[in-house]
Structure 1
Amino acid sequence: MNPSSLAAKDPLSARTSKFSAVLRVTSGNFLEQFDFFLFGFYATQIARVFFPSGSEFASLMLTFSVFGAGFLMRPLGAIVLGAYIDEVGRRKGLIVTLSIMASGTILIACVPGYTTIGMLAPALVLVGRLLQGFSAGAELGGVSVYLAEMASPGRKGFYTSWQSASQQVAIVVAAALGYFLNSWMTANEIGAWGWRIPFFIGCAIVPFIFFLRRSLQETEEFKKQRHHPRVGEVFRTMLANWRTVFAGMLLVAMTTTTFYLITVYTPTFGRTVLKLTTADSLLVTICVGISNFIWLPIGGALSDRIGRRPILIAITLLAICSSYPALSWLAAAPSFGRMLMVLLWLSFFFGMYNGAMVAALTEVMPANVRVAGFSLAFSLATAVFGGFTPAVSTYLIQVTGDKAAPGYWLSFAAVCGLVATLVLYRRGGAAERSATLA
C-alpha cells in the first residue's frame, strides 16, 4: 500500500511507511552519488593512471575535464530518462537509472591503466563517466519528485531535503574510505591500485540497492494523473516552458557550484593548492558532509514554515558578500583549522539554500513533466556550473596566482541564484502560485 493511503487509518503506520519509502528511494541515490563522486575524490590518482603528463596541472585538467564531461551528458539523460520516468512511473524509472550508473562504475573500476592499454584506457574511462552522467541526469530529479509527491501536506521542503542529505552520507563514506586507505596503505600503493577499492565496494552493494528499489511503491499523485506524456510531448512542453527551465537552471547554479567546491574539489584543493596533508583534506571533507547532512533538513523544514523565497535570497546575499573574503583568509595562512572553519561556513550556505531550493524547483515545474523539467534544469546547471567547478577552480588559480580565486566563481553562481529567485518569485510569479497550491 502507498504510504499516503495509510495516513487516515493509522498515523503511526503511515509515518513508518513514509520513513521506509524515504530510505528505499534515497539508498539508491546514495549509491549513485557515491560512485559518481569517487572520481573527483581520487582525481590525483586517476590522473596519474589514465592521463600521465609531465605537468601536474595538465594532468589534473585532463582528469577534471573528463569528470566534467559526465555532466555534459546530464541534460540528455534528464530529457530521455526524465521523460521515461514521467511516462512509466517513478519506481520503474529509478531502477533503470540505477542500472546505467552501475554499468559506468564497473567500467571505471576495471579499466587497466594507460601503461597497459594506451589511449584505450582514458577512452574507456570517458565512456564510464558518460554513462554515469546520463544516469545521474534523471536520478536526482526522479528521487526529488518522488519525495515531493509522497510528502505530508506542508512538509514538502523537509521531505525533499533528504535527496541531498543522502548524497552527504555518500560523501562521508567515500571520504572516510579514503582516510582509512591513506592510513593503511602507502601513497604509491594507493596511486597504483588502492584507489580502485572504493569503486569495487560501490559495485559490490549494487544488488542490495536493487532489492530496496524493487520494493518501492508508485506515488499516488502519479497514479492520479490521467495522461502520462511520451518523449515527444515532453520535448514540446519543455520548449513551451523554456523560461521556467532556464530560471530553474540559474536557481540551481548556486547549490551545485557550492556543493562541488566544498566536497569533490576539497581533497585536491587541500593537497595541491594549500599543501595540507591528504588526511587533513579528507577529514575536512568528512566534517563538511556531516555538516551538510545537518543543515539540509533544517533548511527544508524552515522553508516550509517561512517560505522558500526569504531563505534563497538571504543565503545568496551572504554568499556574494563572504565567499571570496573567507577563502582569502584561508589562503593567507593555510591550516587544518582554517580550512575546516571556511568550508563549514560554505556548508551552511549549501545546506540552507539547497534545503529550500529543491522543493522550490519541484513546485515550479508543470506536473505532467515534473521529473523531466526538474532534471533538465538541474542537469543544465550542473553541466554549466557545478560539474566544471574543479576544472574552473584549478584554471583560475593557475592563471591568477590567487589561491582564493574559486571564491569569484562561487560568488558569480550566487548572483545567478539571486536573480533566478527574484524572477521566479516576482509578484504573482509561477513559483508563488505553485507554492500556494502545494
Structure 2
Amino acid sequence: EIATPGRKGFYTSWQSASQQVAIMVAAAMGFALNAVLEESAIREWGWRIPFLFGCLIVPFIFFLRRKLEETEEFSARRHHLEMRQVFKTLLANWQVVVAGMLMVAMTTTAFYLITVYAPTFGKKVLMLSASDSLLVTLLVAISNFIWLPVGGALSDRFGRKPVLIAMTLLALATSYPALTLLANAPSFSMMLSVLLWLSFLYGLYNGAMIPALTEIMPAEVRVAGFSLAYSLATAVFGGFTPVMSTALIEYTGDKASPGYWMSFAAVCALLATLYLYRRRAMSLQNIVKSQGAA
C-alpha cells in the first residue's frame, strides 16, 4: 500500500528478502559453532547458543511495534470489519484462499527444501560435513536475497502471471533431474550448484507471487486472506517438506526423490495460478459488461 505505482512487486519482494538475512545469520552461527566446538559439545549445550542470541531481538520487536504507523490507505477507511465479518468474507471467498494456498505451495516447499532441510540432506544423505552443509545454506540465503527483488521487479515489468508460469514450469522440468545430478555426484560444489539453481527458481517465483497473491485477495480481507493462505501452505506443504523428503528417500531408496515433492508443489502452484488469473479475468469482464449495460 505504500509502494509507488508500477513498483509494487519490487517493494513487496523485500519482505521475503529480509527473511533471508535471518537464514544468513543462523547458517553463519551454525558454521561458526561447528568450527569452534566439538560435535559432542554442540549436542550437549552448544545448540542453545543460537536460541539465546535470538532472544536479543525481542526488545527490538516491541520497539518496532510501538513506532510503526498504519498506511494511508488503511487509515483512510471509514469502516473496519469486525472479526465476524472478516470470517464471513473469507468463507465466501474460500476458493480464492484455497487456490492461494496452492500458489504459495511452491514457495514454502522450495524454501524449506533449500534452507531448512538442506543441512540435514547434506550431512545425513550426501554424507558431507556439517560445516559444508551450513556454508551452502549461507550462500543459498545470499542468493535468495538477490533473486527475490529481481523477481518482484520482473513481475512489475512483464506481469505477475508470466513469471509465475515460467518458474513453475522450470521447477517441474528441472527439480528432480537437478537433485539426481547431486545424488549421483555428491560434493560441496555440486550441492551448491544445484541449490543455487533451486534458489533462482524460488527467488523469482516468490518475488512475483507475494504481490500477485496480495492483489488477488479481496481488499477488505487482504491481510487475513493472505495470512491464511500462506500459513496453510506452510503447514501443509513447507512444514512437511523435511518429513516428506526423508520418507520419500527411505521408501524409494532414491536420494533425489525430494524432487518429486518439489515437482508436486510446482504443479499445484501452476494450476492455482491459471485458475486465479482466469477467475480474475472473468470478474473484470463481468464488471465491464455490467457498466456497459448501465
TM class by shorter-chain length?
Answer: over 0.9
- Aligned with 1:233: secondary structure? helix
Cα distance in structure 2, aligned partners of 1:431 and 1:277: 54
1:284 aligned to 2:142?
no
Cα distance in structure 1, aligned partners of 2:101 and 2:60: 33
Cα distance in structure 1, aligned partners of 2:128 and 2:9: 37
| CA contact 1:424–1:430 (8 Å) conserved in 2 | no
Residue in structure 2 matching 1:380, options 232, 237, 242: 232
- Deviations along 1:19-59, one digit per CA (max 9) or x if unpaired, are xxxxxxxxxxxxxxxxxxxxxxxxxxxxxxxxxxxxxxxxx
Within a 5 Å distance, the mapping from 1:69-148 to structure 2 comes to none
Look up the match of 2:208: 356
| CA contact 1:260–1:390 (8 Å) conserved in 2 | yes
Cα distance in structure 2, aligned partners of 1:360 and 1:389: 24
Q: Which amino acid aligns with 1:376?
A: L
Q: Which amino acid aligns with 1:196?
A: R
Look up the match of 1:84: none
Count of matched residue pairs: 285
Cα deviation for residue 342 of structure 1 reads: 0.2
Look up the match of 2:9: 157
- Deviations along 1:87-110, one digit per CA (max 9) or x if unpaired, are xxxxxxxxxxxxxxxxxxxxxxxx
Look up the match of 2:292: none
Runs of at least 4 residues of structure 1 off by over 2 A?
A: 427-433
1:175 aligned to 2:16?
no
Cα distance in structure 2, aligned partners of 1:190 and 1:163: 32
Look up the match of 2:156: 304
| CA contact 1:255–1:353 (8 Å) conserved in 2 | yes
1:193 aligned to 2:41?
no
Cα distance in structure 2, aligned partners of 1:352 and 1:235: 32
Cα distance in structure 2, aligned partners of 1:325 and 1:254: 17
Look up the match of 1:202: 54
- Aligned with 2:116: secondary structure? coil
Where structure 2 has 5 or more consecutive residues not aligned to the other structure, the ranges are 286-294
Q: Which amino acid aligns with 1:378?
A: Y
Residue in structure 1 matching 2:194, options 342, 356, 369: 342
| CA contact 1:263–1:288 (8 Å) conserved in 2 | yes
Cα distance in structure 2, aligned partners of 1:432 and 1:161: 26
- Deviations along 1:349-368, one digit per CA (max 9) or x if unpaired, are 00000000000011011111
| CA contact 1:363–1:431 (8 Å) conserved in 2 | no
- Deviations along 1:256-308, one digit per CA (max 9) or x if unpaired, are 10000000000100000000000110010001000000000000011011100
Cα distance in structure 2, aligned partners of 1:300 and 1:367: 20
Cα distance in structure 1, aligned partners of 2:256 and 2:284: 37
Cα distance in structure 1, aligned partners of 2:27 and 2:280: 44
Residue in structure 2 matching 1:415, options 242, 267, 288: 267
Cα deviation for residue 213 of structure 1 reads: 3.1
| CA contact 1:313–1:418 (8 Å) conserved in 2 | yes
1:324 aligned to 2:170?
no
- Aligned with 1:347: secondary structure? helix
Look up the match of 2:289: none
Cα distance in structure 1, aligned partners of 2:185 and 2:15: 36
| CA contact 2:128–2:187 (8 Å) conserved in 1 | yes
- Deviations along 1:228-275, one digit per CA (max 9) or x if unpaired, are 111111111011001111111111011110000000000100000000
Q: Which amino acid aligns with 1:245?
A: V
Residue in structure 2 matching 1:166, options 18, 29, 32: 18
| CA contact 1:225–1:368 (8 Å) conserved in 2 | no
Cα distance in structure 1, aligned partners of 2:60 and 2:281: 43
Look up the match of 2:116: 264
Cα distance in structure 1, aligned partners of 2:29 and 2:96: 40
Q: Which amino acid aligns with 2:219?
A: A
- Deviations along 1:367-407, one digit per CA (max 9) or x if unpaired, are 11111000011111111111110011011111111100100
- Aligned with 2:254: secondary structure? coil
Cα distance in structure 2, aligned partners of 1:355 and 1:387: 20
Cα deviation for residue 206 of structure 1 reads: 1.2
Cα distance in structure 1, aligned partners of 2:184 and 2:224: 44
Look up the match of 2:244: 392
Cα distance in structure 2, aligned partners of 1:368 and 1:245: 14
1:314 aligned to 2:156?
no
| CA contact 1:161–1:354 (8 Å) conserved in 2 | yes
Cα distance in structure 2, aligned partners of 1:334 and 1:306: 37
Where structure 1 has 5 or more consecutive residues not aligned to the other structure, the ranges are 1-148, 434-438
Cα deviation for residue 204 of structure 1 reads: 1.6
TM-score (norm 1): 0.64
Structure with the greater relative contact order (CA < 8 A, sep ≥ 6): 1 or 2? 2
Structure 1 288/261 Cα, relative in aligned 2: closer, same or farther at 3 Å? same
Cα distance in structure 2, aligned partners of 1:409 and 1:162: 27
TM-score (norm 2): 0.94
